[in-house]
Amino acid sequence: MTPPVSEKEKIDKYTEFVGSGLGRELARRLGLPQPAILRRYDPQAPLVEGPILVVGPGVGADAVATVLLGWGQDVRRHASPKEKLGAIVAVLDELAHPDQLSAPVREIGSSLRELARNARIVTISRPAQAGDVPEVAAARHAVDGIVRSLAKELRSGATANGVLLAGDLPADAPSAMASLRFFLSGRSAFVDGQFLAAGDAGTRAEQDWARPLDGRVAVVTGAARGIGAAIARTLARDGAKVVVVDVPAAGDRLADVANEIRGTALQLDITATEAGARILDHAASRHGRLDIVVHNAGITRDKLLANMDAARWDSVIVVNIAAQLRMNQAFLASSHFADSPRIISVSSTSGIAGNRGQTNYAASKAGVIGMVRATAPLLAAAGGTVNAVAPGFIETEMTAKIPFATREVARRLNSLQQGGTPGDVAEVIAFFASGAAAGVTGNVLRVCGQNLVGQ
């Protein structure tokens, strides 16, 4: 019998219907949403389906074009009439005044009608920061508005995202190019209108784009079902040895996941004082060390604040943030977690934008974001990173129980006009866990299709 955890992820029926020629035409005639079937990651598929147009003046654009050529991509420095493009990369690392935006942005605009389905637009620029003169700060921060607005204009599964270069980091720095590759790939299918900050650390010398986690040891909490199970499968697919963790009550499903990915299972209440130590002991005894921790376990106990009792508030805070803080203390103090360690936490768009009836949940998930940003410098000495993902509407067993009308509205309230899958969240986490992301830390990346709330 096939374990329930290995069921194929399915898109919603409406998206599937309008993905056909007849459905697409009917939706167009009636003025209904027309979500595209997204191009998701396939190790055997090309990075981008079509030529890549590199836009921008200066040596940075030339350097990025050279890297793309080294990846075997078909690169253009000037668009050809009527040629479908798989991606546009705009290198804007030398911006010093808003006047300089006109030429590259208009070049992008003139090529938008030539974008293929599921195309990618990625900017590479620098963030505005303290000490910038007003003209430089204005030009740099203008890119933020351009990317987020453009992402809302694109259709047919296309996305727009950006890479932000720290300090004087060159446009073709390894961490910037790793972030670019992530945004170009199918791994970022449900990431839209977002930015990744790239620091000055490089990729690991042995980086393998096909199996980037070979030889690494990972633990995933809340792994018995849904997003947690998808994370475990994706990490295992990318080469990691995975320890899956969940409460004893989920033991059977947890065992199914462990068997499916040839990992090991640890039944554990993460709120226990000794939870971090037990995870370390299990990983060390089986594999000699621990390299990657994914804090996925979480609960909801929704109520309006006026009706919130102590049990609902306290249980959510304890599971969703206090347990992570306690476990991280144990991990950071251990010699078994010292070889370029990675911590990735699952936050939520509720922790960014808030949500009615979820003050406890939003507080815990906003707390995760604060924890990630404060933990980043603590891991830097060991060459480690910590990041968070903030999922929006994801198609899970939980969201399937939402009333039909409410669920349909929630699905369509983003630029991609559909819900994401657990695999979409897992792909972002796998990128953060990889050696390619060595220079990417302290980031919070929304996996929400650019949800219209809080953007």
The distance of Cα 372 from the centroid of its chain, to the nearest Å, equals: 15
**d(C-alpha 417, C-alpha 124), whole Å:** 26
**d(C-alpha 67, C-alpha 172), whole Å:** 7
Contact in structure between 50 and 75 (CB atoms under 8 Å): no
Q: What residues pair up with 175 in beta bridges, in sequence order?
A: none
Phi-psi label, residue 72: left if phi above 0, alpha if psi -120 to 50, beta otherwise:
left
Is the Cα torsion angle 33, 37, 38, 39 positive or negative in sign? negative
What is the separation, in whole angstroms, between the first and last Cα of the chain?
A: 44
DSSP H or E segment with residue 400:
helix 397-400
**d(C-alpha 310, C-alpha 211), whole Å:** 46
Q: What residues pair up with 52 in beta bridges, in sequence order?
A: 75, 87
Radius of gyration (C-alpha) of the chain in whole angstroms: 22
**d(C-alpha 83, C-alpha 203), whole Å:** 34
Task: Pick the closest to residue 331 from 382, 296, 365, 373 (CA basis).
Answer: 382
Q: At what angle do helices 226-237 and 422-433 cross, to 10 degrees?
A: 50
Residue 409's contacts (CB-CB under 8 Å, 6 or more residues apart) are: none
- Structure tokens given for 420: 């994401």
- Sheet strands side by side (includes 217-221): 264-267, 241-246, 217-221, 292-295, 342-346, 385-391, 444-447
Which one of 361, 393, 431, 432 is the catalytic residue? 361
Verify whether residue 41 is a known catalytic residue. no
The full DSSP string for 155-201 is -TT-EEEEEEE-TT--TT-HHHHHHHHHHHSGGGTT--S-EEEE-S-
**d(C-alpha 237, C-alpha 233), whole Å:** 6
Residues with catalytic function: 361
